[in-house]
Structure 1
């Protein structure tokens, strides 16, 4: 499967070990951070319904910890995937505000992780309105029923987002695009994981210590990637994520990477249902899991918000993530 994905999608090329032209350097608590933006990690098919479609580059922003002017090598890595209902969103500094609350951007998370000593890659992926193609056809028996994920209960939030984007209600064509969007996003995450593994020396990463994390649609994607596609990662962080597309009740098995799941106290009903289903499947398979509520928030919450763990622990979202990564990836975080 990996060969088919890479053969279809990967765009090869090496990142420079020294800071390349155009790299930015951020200074603050912990390590300084070097950022290289728009690094191509693969290619993906869009406009798939139109005479074969076209390929477009897939890009990531790479945040590296820097000490005494030099980026560190052989560091654990985390790949972050943005949210936006598979219709919008950004790998950069964009974030959402709703009901007086705001989430943290992928740039915020990656800067924090890099200052703590991790290489962080914030990736873009193909969205449903691009009419994406998929690199491989998963076994239908391993997927949730398509009607479940494109029906009214699962698409209420998506209809809200489409209205805000001045798009008409979902129809048969756009529902098919949405379904392919779930799978294409997972394909793109798979390409990013293999790119980081294959280019570990130039990116300064340890190829056997990669975690994946995401928010909302991005969190659904990392759940699909880790427990549906069995990507070779060490840990999973799902910020308001759930089961979607892959029926992980059928694919998860003992030995898969541990997962940390967050939910806002008043999170979307579909996300709460899907997160509980994912946690139940993982626990049934004896995969280690941790979960935490973010009290007082709905679907959107910042990384500095307090979270309450199922073990009655209390810490900010970012601190809980860094503690989890330290325990699962064997890397102690540097405090700001």
Structure 2
């Protein structure tokens, strides 16, 4: 924990101004929200290990801010990716509970962002059990070694999730599926980002003001998409997500977008260590990275939980994210 706090302190100095400086202007807003469900943003391969792999549609939900009965135009946007150990989760209302705490769903986050003037997209992506295929070959030098990602320590949490889902323990085949799901999720989010940018006018967004965010596996996916694949976005926030899949020390380049990281006080050790690695990889290339921790919680926490960050700031998770978005996507969403 001491090491984690030291990294957070160093990371907080890398971004000026800290989000706490604009937090007072970033409280959730009061726009109405218009929801459109299940738009197809692309197709991708599944059942890759079978003789005849196939593809399936990938879907997203759109939350648009509305004033006087009309959706706003030229708005900043957020694309959200759910968590669930690359095995479970939903782009809608699903919430997880553990140790008496419940997290917020992707729908909860998107409604909050849309009420504050951001167009928010919640996407689905291919999960391990679908046996995802990869659309292209990936340079192994850009990846964390597979043995590290698939080590017993790294897979311990996955085994717990599989047990809760009634799935058998990992074997050689399902380990490979899990590995491909990490990389495939980033491919899917990159595809969704391209889709959103290509239809910016239809969605009422500014294609040059897009942020990626997510929780746990979704946070890892946001980091992989922005800093591993290099999707053209302006900001990234990671709710309890670290490094897995892409080796950010090899892929991060100067000029990439700033990041905001959250880790809970009693979070999973892999999340804590992965966050330290991600922050180090970004700051080594001069990328602004700010970090906050969520006291009193384990891996799951609601967006209204207090977060502690730079300049002794003490604000809810949702408010800190809104302040970060406002600071890095240009104009205020509430203008």
Q: TM-score, normalised by structure 2?
A: 0.90
Q: Distance in 1 between matches of 2:134 and 2:123?
A: 17
Aligned equivalent of 1:69? 69
Say yes or no: does 1:81 pair with 2:81. Answer: yes
Contact 1:128 1:180 in 2 (8 A): yes
The residue number in structure 2 matching 1:306 is 306
Contact 2:125 2:189 in 1 (8 A): yes
Equivalent-residue separation in structure 2 for 1:197 and 1:162 (angstroms): 35
Q: 1:95 matched to which residue of 2?
A: 95
SS at 2:104 equivalent:
coil
The CA deviation at 1:333 is: 4.2
Q: Within the alignment, does 1:223 sit opposite 2:223 as a pair?
A: yes
Match of 1:10 in 2: none
Paired position in structure 2 for 1:44: 44
Contact 1:322 1:333 in 2 (8 A): no
Kept in 2, the 8 Å contact 1:236–1:260? The answer is yes
Instruction: Show the counterpart of 2:318.
Output: 318
- Once the two structures are superposed, what CA deviation does each residue of 1:174-223 show, in whole Å capped at 9, x if it has no partner? 00000000011000000000000000011111111100000000000011
Matched residue SS, 1:250? helix
1:179-190 → structure 2 map (5 Å cutoff): 179-190=179-190
Aligned to 2:193: 193
Q: For 1:334 and 1:268, how far apart are their aligned partners in 2?
A: 36
CA distance in 1, matches of 2:310, 2:115: 28
Distance 2:58 2:219 in 1: 19
Q: Contact 1:115–1:334 (CA<8 Å) still a contact in 2? A: no
Q: Does 1:173 align with 2:168?
A: no
Distance 2:139 2:180 in 1: 14
Distance in 2 (CA, whole Å) between partners of 1:301 and 1:148 is: 27
Structure 2 unaligned blocks of 5 or more: 1-27
Matching residue of 2:297: 297
CA distance in 2, matches of 1:73, 1:280: 37
Shift of 1:310: 3.7
Contact kept in structure 1, 2:254 and 2:287, CA below 8 Å: yes
Structure 2 distance, partners of 1:204, 1:334, is 15
- Partners of 2:252 and 2:45 in 1: CA distance: 28
Once the two structures are superposed, the pairs formed by residues 136-215 of structure 1 within 5 Å of their partners are 136-215=136-215
Larger RCO, structure (CA 8 Å, separation 6 or more): 2
Aligned length: 308
Q: Which contiguous aligned blocks of 4+ residues in structure 1 show a shift greater than 4 angstroms?
A: none
Give 1:3's aligned residue: none
Q: What RMSD in Å do the two structures reach over aligned CA positions? A: 1.2
**Counterpart-to-counterpart distance in 2, 1:184 and 1:289:** 25
Q: Aligned partners of 1:81, 1:298: CA distance in 2, in Å?
A: 20
**Paired position in structure 1 for 2:4:** none
Structure 1 residue 169, shift from structure 2 partner: 1.1
TM-score, normalization by structure 1: 0.90
1:330 Cα deviation after fit:
1.5
Residue matched to 1:259: 259
Aligned to 1:32: 32
Distance 1:135 1:314 in 2: 43
Q: Which residue of 1 aligns with 2:238?
A: 238
SS of the aligned residue for 1:162 comes to helix
Q: Is the 8 A contact 1:128 1:177 kept in 2?
A: yes
Query: What CA distance in whole angstroms lies between the structure 2 residues aligned with 1:311 and 1:138?
Result: 41
Contact 1:30-1:334 within 8 A present in 2 as well: no
Deviation at 1:334, TM superposition (A): 3.9
C-alpha contact 1:64 1:71 (8 A) present in aligned 2: yes
Listed one character per residue, the Cα deviations across residues 224-259 of structure 1 (whole Å, up to 9, x for unaligned) are 011111110000010001011000011111110000
Give the C-alpha shift of residue 150 in structure 1: 1.1
Q: Offset at 1:50?
A: 1.0
How far apart in 1 are the matches of 2:188 and 2:230? 14
Shift of 1:137: 1.6
